[in-house]
Structure 1
Amino acid sequence: MTASYKPRKGSSITSEPQSTFVRRWGIRAIFLTLFLGFCQWANSINDRFYMLTPTELNETVQHSLKLASELNSDSKANSSIIISTLIDQLVERHPEMSWSTDFKNKRDWVFNNAGGAMGSMFILHASITEYIIIFGSAVGTEGHTGRHTADDYFHILTGQQTAYEAGELTREIYNAGDVHHLPRGIVKQYTASPEMWALEYARGWIPLMLPFGFADTLFSTLDIPTLYHTARVTGREMIKNLLKGKI
């Protein structure tokens, strides 16, 4: 006859899982604390790697808008002239950076679904701490800006953008030549009128912004080819800049 055994309360058989649980969550808490500390430290040094400034970019935008106005072209031609002039100026002022300049190549334009809004973008420059793109929509759009770890500057080229923060009862209005600054951590609802195009400049830790840019594709549109091309172009530009020593 085999003797039965019933463990007493407080024995190691029941207490060991509890100690394992405490140890596991203790280790996770330590890693989380270290990660948050690292993020805070990283956030304090990323300004060392910036090569662009919002003020300089706005000067370039104003020059391009003035040139297009003097040529007195139709609106469609104006957009092309503005973008072409912008790119030439950026390459001339910052030859040390890697730029994508062939904005007439449709293969490098990609749709972007993020925060419920849909537009298209052309990546001029993407590095770990900065990106600059042409972004907008030919038909207009509306959505959530996202809450980001980077400062975002919308330099309006054509059309109009409006926005507001929760609690505001009137809208902010941005027209060609205006700059809409979205500070890191701030969130707004925004709209873009038809044929609104902007030079968008973000400075901060750019990879942390990518999940917001990919979420709508993964959980809504399921447009995998667009996701692939977005990752392809972004990765290509970031790697090119890293190889040049640009973080």
Structure 2
Amino acid sequence: MAGWMKTSLFWLTVIIAATYGISYWLDNKSFIFTHGDLEDLAMKFKGTTIQKSFKTLVRDLKHRYGPHILDADKSSFFFVNAGGWMGQVCPLHVSLTEYVLVFNTVQESRGHSGRYWLNITDFVIDGWMEQWKEQTFRVENFTAGVTVFHPWLTSAGVHFGAGSWFLEYGRGFVPSSMFFASADAFFSTHDFISWFAMIKAFGLGLAQEAFLSAEEFIAHVFDS
């Protein structure tokens, strides 16, 4: 019994220390993206279809953020099933603390938003989404041109209209969302091809940001 208590106390201490460390890191680090910039870029395409404007949106993001946006040959759409809803996403930036992606659903879909250690912002370019926040008794509807904010550690019922597409920005501890995004692939759909595409995009994004950070550090060392 004493050994079990020591082990439990050890892991509890590790979890508390890790939680505090990550919180401190998130509170004190600088971020690449701003909500204002992303909103301005997304709303230029308000009311247009994804077929018409997707490539131009990616080009504009690439022009604004350079190598922090994945090249076209490294990013592609894949299915995500999570919390009952189904959509397809194209990750454009992935790091441990930020992500930018395009979300699209051709069919109406609804389910649970999930609950993450992330603030998530959806810039609705076309279509609509509904949000039923916990501990409320009404549904909010958001149409093209509206920005929808999902605060960290909150959850909601979500409903996406057919043909809707958004630019989505997440800021926080990105790995906290991975189990939710992966669970259906293992326990429901068995769509391991889409799951592998998601893990590949996550890995490519992390590798690219690590390379850019190393390049910046080396340049700083030589400049000093």
Q: Please show how residues 158-177 of structure 1 align to structure 2 within 5 Å.
A: 158-177=126-145
Q: If you compute each CA radius of gyration, which structure gives the higher value, 1 or 2?
A: 1
Structure 2 residue 32 is matched with structure 1 residue 51:
yes
Structure 1 residue 96, shift from structure 2 partner: 4.7
Give the 3-state SS of the residue equivalent to 2:213 in structure 1: coil
Q: 2:14 aligns with which of 6, 26, 34?
A: 34
Q: State the AA in 1 paired with 2:90.
A: F
Structure 1 residue 236, shift from structure 2 partner: 1.5
Structure 2 residue 144 is matched with structure 1 residue 190:
no
Residue matched to 2:175: 207
Q: Summarize deviations over 1:173-232 as a string: whole Å, max 9, x none.
A: 111111110000000000000001111110111112100100011111111222112211
C-alpha distance in 2, partners of 1:54/1:25? 45
Residue matched to 1:62: 43
Percent identity of equivalent pairs: 23
Residue matched to 2:218: none
Q: Is the 8 A contact 1:131 1:203 kept in 2?
A: yes
Q: Is the 8 A contact 1:136 1:192 kept in 2?
A: no
C-alpha distance in 1, partners of 2:71/2:157? 30
Q: Is the 8 A contact 1:156 1:176 kept in 2?
A: yes
Structure 2 alignment gaps of length 5 or more: 215-224
Structure 2 residue 53 is matched with structure 1 residue 82:
yes
- Which shifted more, 39-48 or 173-182? 39-48
Q: State the AA in 2 paired with 1:24.
A: W
C-alpha distance in 1, partners of 2:130/2:71? 29
Structure 1 residue 133, shift from structure 2 partner: 0.6
Q: State the AA in 2 paired with 1:31.
A: W
Q: Is the 8 A contact 2:120 2:170 kept in 1?
A: yes
The count of corresponding residues between Structure 1 and Structure 2 is: 213
C-alpha distance in 1, partners of 2:152/2:134? 16
Q: State the AA in 1 paired with 2:38.
A: L
Q: State the AA in 2 paired with 1:176.
A: A
Residue matched to 2:217: none
TM-score by length of 2: 0.88
Residue matched to 1:18: none
Q: Please show how residues 146-165 of structure 1 align to structure 2 within 5 Å.
A: 146-165=114-133
Q: State the AA in 1 paired with 2:6.
A: G
Give the 3-state SS of the residue equivalent to 2:116 in structure 1: coil
Structure 2 residue 105 is matched with structure 1 residue 140:
no
